[in-house]
Chains A and B, each alone.
Chain A
Amino acid sequence: MITEQIVERLKSIMGSEKRILLEKADLVSYSYDGSFGAYIPEIILQPVSTEEVAGIVKLANDMKIPVYPRGRGTSLSGGPLPVHGGMVLDFSRWTQKLIIDPEDTVAIVSPGVITADIDSEAKRHGLMYPPDPSSSHVSTIGGNLAENAGGPRGLKYGVTKDYVLGLEIVTPEGEIIRTGGRTVKNVTGYDLTKLIVGSEGTLGIITEATLQLIPRPQATQTMMVIFGDIIDAGKAISAVLTSGILPSKMEIMDQASIRAVEEFQPIGLPIDVDAIILIELDGHPIAIRDESEQVKQVCLKVGAREAIIARDEESAESLWKARKLVSPAIVRKKPTKISEDATIPRSKIPEMFRRLQEIKAKYEIDLVVFGHAGDGNLHPNIITDKQDKEEMKRVEKAVEEIFSAAIELGGTLSGEHGIGTMKAPFMEMELGEAGLDMMKRMKKAWDPNNIMNPGKIFPETKGQKLVLVHD
């Protein structure tokens, strides 16, 4: 319970009362994110300094009030949902610090900075911040760090955690600590930086980050490869990746998504094919011209029907347009989109496709697959209507089966979206009892009062089920 006394104390902690929101229209506006479920918090605070965060968290820890950190609420796993009420800490207004140090090739950022802004600022110095989740023009870096976000470029460049050198954190007891530093090499003690990145806000709150930047590739080259059989597409992915060339992106669209795009906005995609792979190479312009020809030959050799290499930036853009149109195209039929990100080892892509088709038929659901094929991070998307309760029950079962299939094939529940609320029930299936218990012990050591983002990652009861529809 947030009493008037607590609100008074918060007023003395926050630099401005304008950043304390208590009206009902505000409370309901921070009850959701990009995933499922809505939970109404008791108060929203919009901190813009480490001192404010430390003060808030100390108070919350004393009074045992749940604290839910939130960026811009684009999470697809329920990361910022205030499932036990309490306080939402909205970091979207803390955008003030974005410093590029070209000599150390690092960026120092406050948690509310928009991810894409870091890369565009780095670009002015000939540098790049590689992680590129598709929401990067909206999402905050704080949210990306908490969820360890990925993106298409993950294939070549890895994910958020691969670019974090140091952090400033407010611990669940309200202490301010620094982890790592601003050097690539740093083996002093436990690597708390990597522990915090991807901990989904359950171990502390990130108040500043030092990020590694890399030299920006001079050019990119896009191509589209068309397959009559999705199994061949799977083979082509492996063949390309073992040919000595590492593309920066490899994105797949299955037949259902190709057809949906063509029905929505005919852009001339062949609809009698089984799959399309979009490939982007980056590097020196002469090198990638040569490499794109090699990739084309490799794909044709394993049965690709056609490989189109973009002539210029404009034609590259029109090839990527197909991928961008998938989302609006698939939700035309039904409004609700459940985007999963179960990830499997590359070699299992054809098998995973087969299993997804089985699941689709078994539960009679609309399922399309489009995603980051190169790294096995397929995005099976279920298209449904959350107002249709009967169908949603089937969807819940289908989602469970997708998770089981991924784990059986040696994969993981989540490649880049995080566990949050939706996948918590499946944690033991992947980690085993002892594995999950070690994580719980870490949580307990850091956050003895369980105030930091409670209700996430760990199932709260034994045998907890996935629930998409709340009555």
Chain B
Amino acid sequence: MTSQLAYKETFDCVQCGYCLPACPTYATMGKERHSPRGRINLVQMAAEGKITIDEITESMELCLGCRACETACPTNVQYGKILESFKEVKAVETPAPFLENMALQKALPNKKLLAAMRASLRAYQKTGMESFARKSKMLSILPEQLRAFEEIAPAAEMPNKQLRTGILMPESVPKASVAFFTGCIMDVFFAKINDLSIKLLKHAGCEVTVIKEQTCCGALQNHSGDTGTSRKLAKDNIAAFEKGNFDYVVNAIGGCGAMLVEYDRLLADDPEWAERAKVFSQKNKDVSVILNKLGINFSRELKGVVTYQPSCHLLNVQKVAEDPVKLLESISGITYIPLPKGDMCCGSAGIYNIAHYEESMEILDVKMEHVQKILPGTIVTSNPGCHLQMCLGVKREGLEDKIRVVHIIELLAEACGIDHK
């Protein structure tokens, strides 16, 4: 089984150690085996049979997968591929719990199920059960990690159907034709951000289509070693988006976008799909890239100090660093201050903050120390996972009255005078 490990790729590592300062788990855990260099070596040793998969599991599973090490690496080691190969081998050796597999393989790609989840969540939040449950400490029977997230979970909102039917035309001659990728969880918890993204794209001069046949991007499945499901979803998405002749496929979710741009790698060995995947990956862009490229007109002055916590997968996998910053700097009235060590992961990392709550909170505490240094009025995010984690960070520090957390789209919409409803 260990023959499936990305053994050859481990030799690209010259063990210079330049990845160490970029690694959040090396910083908080202080051991070489929790560093990228350490993990690459462990995979190499496992592939050579010098150590067992079990013995390296803790180190590998505590990796956030933020891939900041790839950005720091002077020799372009494909760490993501090495990590994924471990996850695949591990998933075969020790399959994930039934419920987790059900959730990843069946629930996320299932639109009806997601809609039902959203409806029950809304009912729960609306009926006052939520505050009753919180006040009566009914929720204290939940483990600490789930309780923490329940408290910061955003209100589930219905996506705006009008925006998702037919082709949405801009007021002037279209500058680009765009298909919008909604994501699965995003459209349950953050439908508002998707709605605003669509409106902003239209505002920037795009002709926008929301394709019905699109499905879950497959990132979470891929992170848990279930590449089979990811490949299937990738093919479904590619086929769905091939239906129109779009200039770009745009999303507002750093993590999903990273998966979409890596479909080419995911399907590289599949002759029928490799080329199609490549074309699809190249068309995928983060919403900030398109908005920055086409330009938007601000009509309202905002105020206060604003900082930005990049999504690791937007930064390190999609390599989008400047566009969000340029957009923020162009909003009049605000003072943009870069977050010290902003390129370090916040500890959210997919479901890491639930699976490894304590480790995640240590990483978040370091992040909040940096936030405290500049005390912004607004923290801008670019991915729902980071968004929730930063909300949690703000709450843990008791700063809810001083700092608000917004998705970059919300702030841009505000500055453009675009309302949600």
Contact = CB atoms under 8 A, between A and B. Distances in A.
Interface string B6-26: 000001101111101100000
Interface in B39-89: 41-42, 45, 50-51, 55-56, 58-59, 73-76
Given A34-B17, A387-B11, A25 B33 contact: yes
A52 interface: no
Nearest to B11: A335
B30 interface: yes
A207 B87 CA distance: 41
A105 interface: no
A381 B18 CA distance: 18
A72 B32 CA distance: 9
Contact of A73 (B21, B32, B55, B76): B32
A114 B75 contact: no
B31 interface: yes
Given A25-B51, A138-B18, A337-B14, A328 B33 contact: no
A32 interface: yes
A337 B11 CA distance: 11
A414 interface: no
Interface in A81-103: 90, 92-93
Contact of A46 (B30, B59, B74): B30
A157 to B, nearest CB: 23
B41 A24 contact: no
A351 B56 CA distance: 50
Contacts of B350: none
Contacts of B50: 28
A74 B21 CA distance: 12
B38 interface: yes
A387 B12 CA distance: 11
Given A26-B33, A93-B30, A328 B75 contact: yes
B56 A25 contact: yes
B55 A137 contact: no
A331 interface: yes
Interface in A103-124: 114
Contact of B21 (A28, A138, A386): A138
Interface in B222-271: none
- Please classify how large the interface on chain B is, using the bins under 10, 10 to 19, 20 to 34, 35 or more: 20 to 34
B30 A92 contact: yes
Contacts of A26: 31-33
A29 interface: yes
Contact of B59 (A25, A139, A332, A335): A25
B14 A32 contact: no
Nearest to A138: B17
A23 B19 CA distance: 23
Contact of B42 (A28, A93, A138, A332): A28
B43 to A, nearest CB: 11
Nearest to B19: A138
A33 interface: yes
A90 B21 contact: no
Contact of A331 (B41, B58, B59, B75): B75
Given A28-B42, A29-B41, A138 B20 contact: yes
Contact of A34 (B12, B15, B51): B15
B412 to A, nearest CB: 27
Summarize A's interface: helix, strand, loop or mixed. Answer: loop
Contacts of A24: 51, 55
B16, B18, B30, B73 interface centre (most CB from chain A within 10 Å):
B16
A135 interface: yes
A29 B46 CA distance: 12
A387 B47 CA distance: 14
A336 interface: yes
B30 A29 contact: no
Interface in A292-350: 324, 327-328, 331-332, 335-337
A335 B16 contact: no
B14, B41, B59, B73 interface centre (most CB from chain A within 10 Å):
B14
A68 interface: no
A81 B329 CA distance: 48
Contacts of A114: 21
Contacts of B56: 25
A436 interface: no
Given A25-B55, A28-B50, A29-B41, A72 B17 contact: yes
B14 A335 contact: yes
Interface string A387-417: 1000000000000000000000000000000
Given A29-B42, A33-B15, A138-B20, A327 B74 contact: yes
Given A21-B31, A138-B21, A328-B76, A28 B14 contact: no
Contacts of B42: 25, 28-29
Contacts of A23: 55
A26 B59 CA distance: 9
A336 B51 contact: no
A428 interface: no
Nearest to B50: A28
Given A25-B56, A25-B59, A328-B76, 20 more contacts: A21-B31, A23-B55, A24-B55, A25-B33, A25-B58, A28-B50, A29-B41, A34-B14, A34-B15, A34-B16, A73-B37, A74-B16, A137-B18, A138-B18, A138-B21, A328-B73, A328-B74, A331-B75, A335-B11, A336-B11
22 contacts: A21-B31, A24-B51, A25-B59, A26-B31, A26-B33, A28-B41, A29-B31, A29-B33, A29-B38, A29-B42, A30-B32, A32-B15, A46-B30, A73-B32, A90-B32, A92-B30, A93-B30, A114-B21, A138-B21, A331-B76, A336-B14, A337-B75
Interface of A: 21, 23-26, 28-30, 32-34, 46, 72-74, 90, 92-93, 114, 135, 137-139, 324, 327-328, 331-332, 335-337, 385-387
Closest 10 CB pairs of A and B: A29-B32, A29-B33, A29-B38, A74-B17, A327-B74, A335-B11, A331-B75, A335-B12, A25-B33, A93-B30
